[in-house]
Structure 1
Amino acid sequence: MPLVRQMWKTCFGDDDDFLDILFNYKYRNENTLIYFDGDTAVASLQMLPYTITFYGEEISFAYLAGLCTLPEYRRRGYMDQLIHRAHDVIGERGIPLSVLVPAEDWLYGFYEKYGYEKVFEKGTVPLYPLQKILEDNPDITEAYKVYDALFRNKDFCVQKTFTDFKAIVEEQIIDGFPEKYDISGMARIMDIDYLYGLYSQKNPHAGIEIKDIRFLCRLLFGYKTDELDEPFRSLFPLHHPVMNQMLE
């Protein structure tokens, strides 16, 4: 863990208070990949477990976080190897979906090369204030129930466990409860048959073959499908996928 933590701090500049939360609540050795150049750890990423509601089912996904390479070791293809290995691990674990949040706009094009498609849009309306929830519900368990109820019945919405919630609370206390918004992000289909099967259960008469995995991802998430031509616009109804408060 110290190797990954120092790498994260070097690459992203986050302070120790945030890193304490991240590594106490989310870091696990088994969900971390590290690239070594000789005896030196030079690149890493984490595959954090989350769930999302998807056509009425709650399914697991791997959230790729902390993708970083030490500055002096960049442009050597190390991250490329880690991403491909991460996809192998995710597939071996039977996880049907991978999600990430590009740190900068130019990275959207970079991750497209790995099969990722933008399906989460940045929000313009602030989320319901967490500070208000905590003030109205001093007991953390009750506060979580209220928080969870805001998102539990939304389809295509990333869900949070009680442990996730405690991490979010600690982070916002440190930050002074700033306004939070839905965040922009990308997804990659890892198990086509499973995810398309969930869609087909809700849309039994929609038989169509899509070979472009990125386009299929957009269709299955219903991301801006109202802007597409027929038959896609009718076969894949518009949805508004939601992701927020990922300790980003």
Structure 2
Amino acid sequence: MIHYADNTTRQQVYDMWKTVFGDSDEYMEIYFREKYRNENTLIYFESGKAVSSLQMLPFDFSFHGSEIPVAYFSGLCTLPEARKKGFMGALIKKSFGEMDEKGIPLAILVPQDKTVMKFYRQFGFTQTFDAGAPLPDLQKIMVESENLHNAYEIFDSFFRQRDMTVQKTPDDFRAIVEEAALFDFPVKKGLMAMSRITDAEKLLIIFAKKYPQIKVSVKVSDPIIGKNNAVFVIKNGSVSKSSKKETTHFYVEIDALTQLLLGYKTSEFSNDYRLVFPEKQPLIGFMME
């Protein structure tokens, strides 16, 4: 049974996180004070006990000149004795429906390592961010700034003008600095991360408005989210769903569409695709990972 967390189950989420990830009490105090919210946390209960959970942290994401809401999946964990029973899969699928109700069209997560990427791929996630890109030197910013507000302005300027990146608020930044201080401000680089489109039409509409010269139809296949299964016609800066037997230029699975719309290595797609979908340099970092 799946429910949102509340004040009576918050401690169970905390204990589960501690059991699975083993993070320090100092880090967890910051995370659960600054980032954790009951209303963003789904829990799977078995016989009344919390055995699996995930959090859908809200962020804004720069996307083809617009900023869209995204859900950053955090703290995905299942107690060791409850694994391989489908609990996390059920939570992920439930989260897609919750995102739809909230109007959030894109999910992002940072896998612990490459071995777990295979698990997330079965739910339509695909790699859209590479590790290793340089990020701002947080310690240098703090030293050179008179106060936290000025430091945030410098930090924010690095991300605000970039496309395909998660944006941070001043509150986010305050938590990032506090967490970094625990570890003596380590040098950070871009993270390897995965994404999953949950509302193809909403993102295609933004894409079409940005590139009004594009005229193309895209047939999308999504085995989990039914409303994404459609032929989308992009023309004159708008998008419509087609029920007619017209020429379809592209047939794409939802994972490929995610990479194409985020501009992830589109130069490695066939010529037809890369002429329509411009290549970007998606970047994600400072997620209190």
* Fold conserved between structures, TM > 0.5: yes
CA drift of 1:205 comes to 3.0
Q: Do residues 150 (structure 1) and 158 (structure 2) align? A: yes
**Equivalent pair of 1:210/1:216 in contact (CA under 8 Å):** no
Counterpart amino acid of 2:179? E
Aligned to 2:22: 13
User: Once superposed, what is the RMSD of the aligned Cα atoms?
Assistant: 1.0
User: Partner of 2:208 in structure 1?
Assistant: 200
Pairwise CA distance, 1:128: 2.1
Q: Report the alpha carbon displacement of residue 232 of structure 1 after superposing the two structures with TM.
A: 0.4
Inter-CA distance 154–124: structure 2 relative to 1 (3 Å threshold): closer
Report the equivalent of 2:199: 191
Q: 2:75 aligns with which of 62, 66, 76?
A: 66
Indicate if the aligned counterparts of 2:58 and 2:71 stay in contact, CA closer than 8 A: yes
**2: distance between equivalents of 1:140 and 1:128?**
15
Match 1:50 to one of 59, 77, 93: 59
Pair 1:223-2:264 in alignment: yes
CA contact (8 A) 2:133 2:283 kept: no
Indicate if the aligned counterparts of 1:34 and 1:82 stay in contact, CA closer than 8 A: yes
- Superposed, 1:45-124 pairs within 5 Å as 45-124=54-133
Give the superposition deviation at 1:118.
Answer: 0.8
Structure 2 equivalent of residue 170 of structure 1: 178
TM-score (norm 2): 0.83
Task: Determine the structure 2 residue equivalent to 1:247.
Answer: 288
- Find the counterpart in structure 2 of residue 40 from structure 1: 49
> Relative CO higher for 1 or 2, CA cutoff 8 Å, sep ≥ 6?
1
Pairing partner for 1:138 from 143, 146, 167? 146
More strand by share: 2
Kindly provide the amino acid, as one letter, of the partner of residue 273 in structure 2.
F
Report percent identity of matched pairs.
44
AA partner of residue 237 (structure 1): P
Q: What is the TM-score of this pair, normalised by structure 1?
A: 0.97
Gaps (5+ residues) in structure 1?
Answer: none
Counterpart amino acid of residue 54 in structure 2: L
- Measured in 1, the distance between the counterparts of 2:140 and 2:156 equals 14
Q: Which residue of 1 aligns with 2:249?
A: none
Which range is displaced more, 217-226 or 104-113? 104-113
Gaps of 5+ in 2: 1-9, 221-252
- How many aligned residue pairs are there? 247
Structure 1 segments, 4+ long, off by >4 Å, are: none
- The structure number with the bigger radius of gyration is 2
